[in-house]
Structure 1
Amino acid sequence: MPDSPTGRAHDVVLRHIEDSLHSGALKLGDRLPGERALAEQFGISRASVRDAIRTLEVMGVVRSATGSGPNSGTIVVSDPSSALGVALRMHVASHHLPLKDVVEARMMMETWSLEHAASVPWTPEQLNDARLLLEAMDDDALPSQIFTLLDTQFHVALSALAGNVVVSTMMESMREAIRGYIDDAVARRGTWDEVVPTLREHHRGIFEAVEAREGERAARLVREHIEWFYRQAL
């Protein structure tokens, strides 16, 4: 497949990686052949191979590292939430995806997750991840940016109890896509000290409802929490 100004020769590498992952010929942790080997295999330039590898890195499918040793080369990984978060953040910035719509989508998924989590099996250890984050947010010395980071992780940890990996991934990516806007809004309004006690109260209520497996109450509380917070911040 020859290179051309209009053709996307690197697509053949992307298709090959996709097919290999689907068939099981490539698995997480495997290392891809080098640039030269891939270029010769597909009859394309090394520049096209590099383009394909960069695309896969942005997609969260591979990680590349120079040098030698067990972590060098291009290794197959899986980091979909990071890739989705970057894409969502870019489209929110371009105003193609309104922030309000992203927040509503997040609310739909999170309320479903907390309601569903009441009826599926999970262990106390899994819930403990959210408990530790809840306790960390009680530190009055936390800057708002660190609090919102822990806040993001708290909501994702609770949503993960539903056991749906796709929903958890989308939740994490959406929260990351809009967290910067929240930080900016908090800094502009200068009302963080007034907001944070209510956030803690809301978080404790949501956690207690999830812990008690009261799905409907947990879903209602998280909806009210999200609606309240975005009225304050945006």
Structure 2
Amino acid sequence: MRLQVAAQGFPLADVVRTRLVLEDAVVASLASDRGRDTSDAHRILDAMDADGLAAAEFLALDAQLHLALAESSGNSVIAAMMAGLRTAIESYVLTGSEQIDNWDAMTARLRAEHRDIVTAIDAGDADAARRLVHSHITGYYTAAGLTTNTDRND
């Protein structure tokens, strides 16, 4: 809970870089785990396909998907960190959604990217899953005009 409260004041660039580190570890771990359970992720993906979702509803499901993957990884620390960052992430991505001219096209793109990530995990392709999650995260922040230098190695 302390991380969740503190995350409200974290710089966007730090939140994005942290997401990249955490979610890279999550998808690589899941893809490498033969006993992986992505059923929650698939359930959320299906919910994201509902017609007429407002941006806030879609992005709440998006956050649930990323958290479900973290929880499925079996790493309780990573899952807790993702849960703690969730409010900050939702706030930034919702703010960014207001800058996207064609929200319907963006949701179609995000749905496809999410499905590709989960497909790579299910196929056991850690390299593809890592590449896809990185592109997914940085791509949204770029499209939403929230671009930061997330690849910097400070």
Say if 1:133 and 1:154, in contact at 8 Å, map to a contact too.
yes
Per-residue deviation, 1:205: 0.3
- Pairing 1:111–2:24 present: yes
1:121 Cα deviation after fit: 5.3
Secondary structure at the aligned position of 1:118 is classed as helix
Distance, in Å, in 2 between the alignment partners of 1:119 and 1:193 is: 33
Could you say which residue in structure 2 is the equivalent of 1:136? 47
TM-score by length of 2: 0.86
Structure 1 consecutive aligned stretches of length 4 or more whose deviation exceeds 4 Å: none
CA distance in 2, matches of 1:132, 1:116: 20
Counterpart in the other structure of 2:3:
84
CA RMSD of aligned residues (A): 1.6
1:205 partner letter: D
What is the deviation of 1:120? Answer: 3.2
| Pairwise CA distance, 1:118 | 2.4
The correspondence for 1:167, drawn from 78, 92, 104, is 78
User: Which residue of the partner structure matches residue 94 of structure 2?
Assistant: 183
State the SS of the aligned residue for 1:140: coil
TM-score (structure 1 length as normaliser): 0.58
Q: How many residues align?
A: 145
Structure index of larger Rg: 1
CA contact (8 A) 1:122 1:161 kept: no
Q: How much identity, in percent, do the aligned residues show?
A: 37
Distance change (3 Å), C-alpha of 1:191 and 1:115: same
Structure 2 gaps of 5+ residues are 147-154
- Report whether the alignment pairs 1:216 with 2:127: yes
How many angstroms apart in 2 are the aligned matches of 1:117 and 1:185? 29
More helix by percentage: 2
The residue aligned with 1:3 is none
| Alignment check: 8 A CA contact 1:152 1:172 kept | no
Q: Which has the higher contact order (CA 8 A, sep 6+)?
A: 2
Q: CA offsets, 1:93-114, max 9 Å, x none? A: xxxx320111111111101111
Cα deviation for residue 217 of structure 1 reads: 1.0
